[in-house]
C-alpha cells in the first residue's frame, strides 16, 4: 500500500529528491566518494553550498546586502540568536503572538531586552491572526510567525512596517511567492518545505548587525557565519545537499508561483471536505486558514482514535493533531501530491457514512 506523509515535520519530500540523495550517499556525481564523507571545504561541497544559496536568492528575490546562511540549531536557536545580535538591553522589540513558536520566541527575546507583545490571539487558543494593531516606530524590530504549524493559521499578507521586519517562516517558506527584500531577517527550519532536518536557513541584512553593545560568542554571531560562508564549523552537509536538491526541484516545477497554485488547489479541496462533511469541523477562522497545516476536529470526540486508525489503514500517516490541541492536522507541504488529498478525503467520507 502506498503511504502519504501528512506529518508536520520532518515532512514529505519529492520522490526525485529522495532518489538522488540516496544515490549520492553511496557516490556523489561519479567522484568515487560518498556525499557524506567528503570535506565540507572541498570543491564539490562548496559548489553544492553555492548553488543552494543562489536558489534561495532567486526564489526570494533578495537584495545584494542580504546574506544567505545555512546554520544549525533549528528555529529554536534563532529565537535567542536574533535578539542576542540585534537587541540591546535598553531597547524594545515588538512581537506578534500567534502560537506556540511565537511564544517561545518572545520568551527568549526577553532575556536580552524589552519585548512588547503588540497583539495576540491567545484569547481564543490561537485560532486567528490578529490584524488591528500598531507597531511602534521606536521598536528595534517587529517579529512575526508567518505560519503556525501547531494551530493551522497563516498570515495571508505581510505587514507593512517602517522598522526592521523579522519573520519565522519555518513551515511555509518556499510554498508561495514572498518578496524577500521586504524582510531584514528571515529564518526557517528546513524540515518542512526545503529539505530534511538538520539545517536552518537564515537570511539577514547587513545593516541589522554590529549595533549591539554586548559581546557575542563567536558561534552565535551572524557576522562570523557571513565571513566564513556558513563554514565556521562543520555544517550538516547532507541536509544542505538535500535542501539544494529540493530548491532545484521547486524551480523545475515552475517556482513559487506554480507552488502557490498547486498548494491552493490542494488546500481548497481538503477544506471543502472539512466544511461539508457533517462529522468534521475546521478549527481556524476561514480568512486565516493555513495552506500548509490544515487543522480540524471530529464532532464525536469518542471517535477520534478510530478515525486516526482508519486514516492509517488507508495509508494517511501523521494526521493526529499536536498534543496541545488534539483533533487532526493534515500537513500538505509542497511535495504532497493531490492523490494524497484524495485518499484522505475518501477516508473522511467513508468514515462519516459509517459513523455520522
Packed helices 237-252 and 255-276: angle between N→C axes, nearest 10 degrees: 90
State yes or no: pLDDT of 198 exceeds 90: yes
Positions of CATH 3.40.640.10 in the chain: 15-252
Instruction: Tell me whether residue 101 is one of the annotated catalytic residues.
Output: yes
What per-residue confidence (pLDDT) applies to 10? 96
Is residue 80 reached through a cis peptide bond, with omega within 30 degrees of 0 on the bond before it?
no
Q: Which of 140, 172, 184, 192 is catalytic?
A: 192
Q: Are 203 and 185 in contact (CB under 8 A)?
A: yes
What per-residue confidence (pLDDT) applies to 115? 98
Q: How far apart are CA 109 and CA 119, in angstroms?
A: 16
Q: Are 204 and 66 in contact (CB under 8 A)?
A: yes
Looking at domain 15-252, which CATH architecture does it have? Answer: 3-Layer(aba) Sandwich (3.40)
Can you tell me the mean pLDDT for 220-244?
A: 98
Tallying the residues shown for the chain, one arrives at 356
Kindly report the three-state secondary structure assignment for every residue of 207-276. Answer: HHCCCCCCCCCHHHCHHHHHHCCCCCCCCCHHHHHHHHHHHHHHHHCCHHHHHHHHHHHHHHHHHHHHHH
Number of H helices, E strands in the chain: 9, 14
State yes or no: pLDDT of 201 exceeds 80: yes
Instruction: Tell me whether residue 249 is one of the annotated catalytic residues.
Output: no
Q: Is the pTM of this model over 0.85?
A: yes
State yes or no: pLDDT of 356 exceeds 80: no
Instruction: Tell me whether residue 131 is one of the annotated catalytic residues.
Output: no
Q: Are 153 and 126 in contact (CB under 8 A)?
A: yes
Residues above pLDDT 90, as percent of the chain: 98
Q: Which of 53, 101, 221, 249 is catalytic?
A: 101
Q: Which of 53, 140, 168, 221 is catalytic?
A: 168
For the stretch 260-316, pLDDT in tens is 999 999 999 999 999 999 999 999 999 999 999 999 999 999 999 999 999 999 999
Give all strands (DSSP E) within the chain, no chain letters: 4-5, 66-71, 92-97, 114-120, 142-145, 147-148, 153-154, 165-168, 185-189, 200-205, 280-282, 293-298, 316-317, 328-331
**Beta pairing partners, 204:** 67, 185
Region at 74 (left for phi over 0; alpha for psi -120 to 50; beta for the rest): left
What per-residue confidence (pLDDT) applies to 1? 81
What lies within 8 Å, CB to CB, of 123 at 6+ separation is: none
Cell digits of residue 136 = 511602534
Positions of CATH 3.90.1150.10 in the chain: 4-12+255-355
What per-residue confidence (pLDDT) applies to 280? 98
Quickly state the pLDDT bin for 94 (edges 50, 70, 90): very high
Got the DSSP string for 31-53? SSS-GGGS-TTSHHHHHHHHHHH
What per-residue confidence (pLDDT) applies to 161? 96
**Beta pairing partners, 8:** none
State yes or no: pLDDT of 219 exceeds 90: yes
What per-residue confidence (pLDDT) applies to 324? 86
What per-residue confidence (pLDDT) applies to 230? 98
CATH of 4-12+255-355, one of 3.30.1490.20, 3.50.30.50, 3.40.109.10, 3.90.1150.10: 3.90.1150.10
Amino acid at each position: 500500500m502506498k503511504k502519504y506523509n501528512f506529518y508536520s515535520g520532518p515532512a514529505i519530500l519529492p520522490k526525485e529528491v529522495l532518489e538522488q540523495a540516496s544515490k549520492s550517499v553511496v557516490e556523489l556525481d561519479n567522484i568515487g566518494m560518498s556525499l557524506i564523507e567528503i570535506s565540507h571545504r572541498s570543491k564539490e561541497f562548496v559548489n553544492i553550498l553555492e548553488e543552494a544559496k543562489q536558489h534561495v536568492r532567486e526564489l526570494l528575490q533578495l537584495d545584494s546586502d542580504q546574506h544567505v546562511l545555512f546554520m544549525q540549531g533549528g528555529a529554536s536557536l534563532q529565537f535567542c540568536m536574533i535578539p542576542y545580535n540585534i537587541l540591546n538591553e535598553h531597547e524594545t522589540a515588538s512581537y506578534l503572538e500567534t502560537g506556540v513558536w511565537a511564544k517561545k520566541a518572545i520568551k527568549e527575546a526577553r532575556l536580552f531586552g524589552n519585548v512588547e507583545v503588540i497583539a495576540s490571539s491567545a484569547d481564543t487558543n490561537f485560532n486567528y491572526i490578529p490584524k488591528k494593531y500598531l507597531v511602534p516606530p521606536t521598536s528595534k524590530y517587529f517579529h512575526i510567525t508567518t505560519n503556525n504549524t501547531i494551530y493551522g493559521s497563516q498570515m495571508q499578507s505581510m505587514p507593512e512596517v517602517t522598522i526592521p521586519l523579522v519573520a519565522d517562516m519555518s513551515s511555509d517558506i518556499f510554498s508561495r511567492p514572498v518578496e524577500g527584500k521586504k524582510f531584514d531577517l528571515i529564518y526557517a527550519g528546513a524540515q518542512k518545505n526545503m529539505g530534511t532536518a538538520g539545517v536552518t536557513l537564515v537570511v539577514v541584512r547587513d545593516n541589522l548587525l554590529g549595533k549591539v553593545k554586548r559581546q557575542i560568542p563567536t558561534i552565535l554571531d551572524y557576522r562570523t557565519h557571513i565571513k566564513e560562508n556558513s563554514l565556521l564549523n562543520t555544517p550538516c552537509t547532507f541536509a544542505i545537499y538535500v535542501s539544494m536538491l529540493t530548491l532545484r526541484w521547486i524551480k523545475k516545477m515552475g517556482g513559487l508561483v506554480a507552488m502557490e497554485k498547486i498548494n491552493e488547489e490542494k488546500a481548497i479541496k481538503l477544506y471543502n471536505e472539512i466544511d461539508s462533511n457533517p462529522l468534521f469541523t475546521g478549527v481556524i477562522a476561514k480568512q486565516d486558514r493555513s495552506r500548509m497545516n490544515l487543522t480540524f476536529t471530529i464532532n464525536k470526540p469518542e471517535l477520534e482514535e478510530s478515525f486516526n486508525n482508519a486514516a492509517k489503514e488507508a495509508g494517511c500517516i501523521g494526521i493526529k493533531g499536536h498534543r496541545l490541541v488534539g483533533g487532526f492536522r493534515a500537513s500538505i507541504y509542497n511535495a504532497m501530491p493531490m492523490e494524497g488529498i484524495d485518499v484522505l478525503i475518501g477516508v473522511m467520507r467513508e468514515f462519516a457514512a459509517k459513523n455520522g
